[in-house]
Amino acid sequence: MTTLFTILFDGVAYGMLLFVLACGLAVTLGLMNFVNLAHGAFAMTGGYICAVLVNNSGWPFFAALPLAFVSAAAIGVALERTLYRHLYTRSHLDQVLFTIGLTFMSVAAVDYIMGSSRIFIKLPAALEGQFDFFGVGIGRYRLMIIVICGLLTVALQLILSKTRFGSRLRAAVDDPRAASGLGINVPQVFAFTFAFGCGLAGLGGALSAEILGLDPYFPLKFMIYFLIVVTVGGSSSITGPFLASLLLGIGDVAGKYYVPKMGPFVIYTIMIVILIWRPNGLFGRAAAR
């Protein structure tokens, strides 16, 4: 019984991590209707920035995390202003080709600068190991992931539904022309949203280095996971991707534990079953654009 809870705990932590990594993609894909396959490259950037700060410059881990967010967001906004915005009105195929090219460039660049072996971030001793909670093994690092990602999810939901910015964003998405007529600076709102999504990816990258591993192939290896989260969750809200991440995280961990021979296929099976049941994802809008 305690094993079941350990598996559940590991699965939730894994799912939360997937959510933070993927929710930026859900925002660009769902809200901005832009296919950004280079999303994983921003995650990797955050991871490497955190690793360099902690390992080489001696920064504390918790100080490096916000910087991973900020720098990934800064790179995001710079690219959005210079490259991405020209592609908003182009076809999805153009967007896919452009962003996948960007991904390959980032892989080659990081391989060249940082080398291709897997990188670890030196963690503070407090985050290492497990403690026992009524017989359930709780990993300290995974617990931290759940806390950070949980808080982020709540904050994100509040920003989108309760703040002025949230309503501007929703207006800009639903009808950009009417929104700009009302005095909303649509390009600025989009740039900010895009940057925020990249920042979340960067933070996710920094957090995931310990669990998923960080090497130059990160964006390619996890692109499939990000896309599964968004497809299963549906792209019209962030509740969908959140539930999808949890479901997939728990499914993946439990699958690998209980049926190790099936291991990696459990996650695909879940995806197929859900998509047969709800072709637009868990919370998809049937008439999504």
CB 83 within 8 A of CB 34: no
Rank residues 147 and 182 by Cβ distance to another protein and give the closer one: 147
**Tokens 């509740």 label which residue?**
239
- The answer to whether residue 130 forms part of the interface with another protein (CB under 8 A) is yes
Q: Which of 12, 14, 21, 244 lies at the binding interface for another protein (CB under 8 A)?
A: 14
Question: Could you say whether residue 134 binds another protein (CB under 8 A)?
Answer: no
Angstrom CA distances, 5 to 104, 134, 197, 254, 264, stand at 39, 10, 32, 10, 21
Q: By CB under 8 A, how many residues form the interface with another protein?
A: 35
What are the CA-CA distances from residue 232 to residues 100, 225, 260, 273 (Å)?
21, 10, 23, 10
Binding residues among 211-240 for another protein as defined by CB under 8 A: 211-213, 215, 217, 221-222
Pick the binder of another protein from 128, 155, 269, 288 (CB under 8 A).
128
Q: Scan for tokens 């960007």, then name that residue.
A: 102
Helix 239-258 vs helix 2-26: crossing angle, to nearest 10: 140
**In the complex with another protein, which residue's Cβ is closer, 189 or 253?**
253
116 is a site residue for another protein (CB under 8 A):
yes
Q: Does 261 bind another protein (CB under 8 A)?
A: yes
Binding-site member from 60, 83, 92, 120 for another protein (CB under 8 A): 120
* Cβ–Cβ under 8 Å, residues 46 and 76: no
Specify the 3-state DSSP secondary structure of 285: coil
Count of CA atoms in the C-beta half-sphere (13 A) of 35? 16
> Which range in 65-73, 160-168, 183-191, 260-268 contacts another protein by CB under 8 A?
260-268
Task: Using the rule CB under 8 A, give the single segment among 26-34, 171-179, 180-188, 210-218 that binds another protein.
Answer: 210-218
In contact, 134 and 141? CB cutoff 8 Å: no
7 counts as binding another protein under rule CB under 8 A: yes
Choose which of 27, 35, 186, 253 interacts with another protein (CB under 8 A): 253
Taking the least distance from each CB to another protein, the nearer of 211 and 275 is 211
Question: Are 146 and 13 within 8 A, CB to CB?
Answer: yes
The residues binding another protein (CB under 8 A) are 3, 6-7, 10, 14, 111, 115-118, 120, 128-130, 137, 139, 141, 210-213, 215, 217, 221-222, 252-257, 260-261, 263-264
